[in-house]
Structure formats: C-alpha cells, structure tokens
C-alpha cells in the first residue's frame, strides 16, 4: 500500500487523463496524494486557444471533483506572456523541491515517448529530479498524445471500474478542449486496458523502477 503519492502532469487535465482513477483508488485506501502541474497555467497567456480565467476555472472545477488541490509550478514567460516549460537546471532545481518535500513512495508522470513537447520536457525534468529517489516511478498513458508512443510498455494495470465515471467527470471539467468523441475514446482505452485484469476499466502504467527497502 502506498502512503504518499505524487502525480506530475505538464498541464491541468494530464493527470486526469493518465491516472485520476488510480489516484482516487489509493486516496480512498488512505494514501496522501499530491498533484503538481509543471507548466504555469496561471501565466498571462497560458494557451493559444483558452484564456487564463477559463483555464483557471476549468482546473479548479477538476480539483473539486477529485478532492485534491493542484500545485501549479512557475515558469519563465516569452514576450507574448506564454509560459516556457524547459528542461534545464532551473526547472530541475524547482522540481527537486517538489519531489523532496515529502517521502513519496510512488511518483507518476508522463512517458518520454508521448507526442507532446511539454510532456517530454516534464518527463525529463522529473526524471532528473529523481536521481536520488528511492521509491517507485511509474509513467502514465497520456490519452490523445500516446497513440503513437513507441516506448510506452505497460506492465502495471490498476482496476478503476468503480471510478471511471468520476475520472470522466474530472476530464469533462475541461469543456473548452474535450468533446464527446474524445470522452468516448478515453473510456474505450480504459476498457481496452481493463481486459488485462479481466475487469471493465483499468489504467495502465510503465514501471520505470522499483526499490524495496
């Protein structure tokens, strides 16, 4: 049983896509769960398609559905006000403070093979910050950005059959991005992963390493 879990996504909605059901499952079993967003969606211009007020409203709605507050990290911004999430010594130092704040026994983030630059940067930042980490490290499946991922090799499957609706509720908070087709496909992916356990729905992870103390 995991006591302290840290999930790190590049953006609000990434953790919901990749591991919301798993986090809710372990939270119900007594785990202390933290969610961190690596890219600063409180920046002046966080998205080319959504304004800051809209994005804040959406992730705050998701926080309420999950019952877990998000910690939004800070990034440099470019001349237009957009945040720049970069893998460098400054971002690794900031992530060091996050991963070392508690004695986490499980940390989850993106797969390096996701086809989104921010996801790849987040993996690299987190992986660098885990250079002395002694717990378990899982990579999650990133929904729409993992369909071309050639490096994701799932070897852990978590039954979320009784939590699939709550997972989808958290995703549906992002009304400016997700439509019925995407939600259908997200449910379908969870159903596909569920067959590994003989259950209705599951989330899949790629175990990077495990240390037993």
pTM, full prediction: 0.94
d(CA 16, CA 142): 9
Tokens describing residue 56: 């804040």
Full pLDDT tens readout for the chain, 213 residues: 799 999 999 998 999 999 999 999 999 999 999 999 998 776 656 565 666 677 788 999 999 999 999 999 988 888 877 888 999 999 999 999 999 999 999 999 999 999 889 999 999 999 999 999 999 999 999 877 777 888 999 999 999 999 999 999 999 999 887 888 989 999 999 999 999 999 999 999 999 998 876
Let me know how long the chain is. 213
| Structural domains of the chain in order of their starting residue, each with its CATH number | 4-209 (3.40.50.10320)
d(CA 101, CA 179): 37
Q: Show Cβ contacts of residue 122 under 8 Å, excluding neighbours closer than 6 positions.
A: 8, 9, 10, 38, 39, 85, 109, 110
């Amino acid at each position: 049983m995991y006591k302290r879990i840290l999930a790190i996504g590049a953006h609000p909605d990434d953790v919901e896509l990749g591991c919301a059901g798993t986090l809710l499952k372990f939270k119900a079993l007594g785990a202390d769960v933290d969610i961190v967003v690596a890219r600063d969606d409180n920046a002046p211009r966080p998205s080319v398609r959504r304004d800051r007020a809209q994005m804040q409203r959406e992730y705050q709605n998701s926080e309420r559905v999950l019952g877990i507050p998000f910690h939004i990290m800070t990034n440099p911004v470019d001349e237009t006000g957009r945040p720049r999430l970069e893998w460098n010594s400054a971002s690794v130092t900031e992530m060091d403070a996050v991963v070392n704040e508690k004695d986490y026994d499980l940390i989850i983030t993106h797969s390096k093979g996701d086809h989104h630059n921010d996801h790849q940067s987040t993996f690299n930042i987190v992986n660098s910050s885990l250079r002395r980490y002694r717990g378990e490290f899982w990579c999650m499946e990133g929904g729409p950005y993992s369909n071309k991922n050639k490096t994701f090799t799932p070897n852990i499957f978590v039954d979320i059959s009784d939590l699939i609706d709550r997972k989808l509720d958290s995703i549906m908070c992002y009304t400016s991005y997700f439509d019925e087709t995407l939600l259908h496909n997200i449910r379908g992916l969870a159903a596909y992963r569920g067959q590994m356990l003989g259950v209705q729905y599951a989330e899949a992870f790629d175990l990077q390493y495990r240390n037993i103390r």
